[in-house]
Chains A and B, each alone.
Chain A
């Protein structure tokens, strides 16, 4: 069964460093998402991506964040200069349409020291 895959599963970085989290969505899906979950808190929407551009973003998704789909298969989230409060589990998801369920990856745990 097709699934969303994410790498790395866990990354530890120093504050101020750049981090790139990678995702391979399900191949025939058209909508892509990043969510994050700070330990013990709810899953929060970061950004949605459709037709090679951001379609929606939350207030969390500031100038330190960017997304791209460089080669038609990978979908990446870049955090330019990490802060301590960026420590969280980051989930990638994809969807065939703009309605219906999202399919999630297993997440990438980011620890910022």
Chain B
């Protein structure tokens, strides 16, 4: 079974600074997706960024980028130029791409990010 580990329960960053959230995962599959979801206080989880494991290039979405290390099974999220609106719970998640594999998302425990003005 796949597992996702987020070792930082809480992180804080100064506005306009850069912060990196860590995520490691365990799987025996070679094809999968990895995601970072953001859950603001309004509760709805929204997708921040996704990475297909077969792509070597790290995904980027504006101020958000990932450092995907497939061999190390590491998938960290970097937030540049942090804004007050980035304050939220961030979840790392795994989903199999294997045709006969599980279709569910497996989540880490989350990292609560605080942005200080």
Contact = CB atoms under 8 A, between A and B. Distances in A.
Interface stretch (B22-30, B56-64, B77-85, B102-110): B102-110
Interface in A32-48: 33, 35, 41-45, 48
A43 B91 contact: yes
Q: B43, B50, B96, B109 — which one has the most chain A CB atoms within 10 A of its CB?
A: B43
A27 interface: no
A107 B97 contact: no
A25 interface: no
A80 interface: no
A56 to B, nearest CB: 6
26 contacts: A31-B103, A33-B104, A41-B109, A42-B108, A42-B109, A43-B91, A43-B110, A44-B107, A48-B103, A48-B104, A56-B103, A91-B45, A95-B103, A99-B33, A99-B95, A99-B96, A100-B33, A101-B33, A101-B35, A101-B47, A101-B50, A103-B47, A104-B37, A104-B46, A105-B44, A107-B43
A98 interface: yes
User: Looking at chain B, what size class is its interface with the partner chain?
Assistant: 20 to 34
A92 to B, nearest CB: 11
Interface residues of A, number: 27
A43 B107 contact: yes
Contacts of A56: 102-104
A104 B45 contact: yes
Interface of B: 33, 35, 37, 42-47, 50, 91, 95-97, 102-110
Given A99-B95, A100-B33, A101-B50, A106 B43 contact: yes
Nearest to A98: B103
A52 interface: no
A105 B103 CA distance: 18
Contact of A55 (B96, B103, B110): B103
Contacts of A15: none
Q: A41, A56, A91, A99 — which one has the most chain B CB atoms within 10 A of its CB?
A: A99
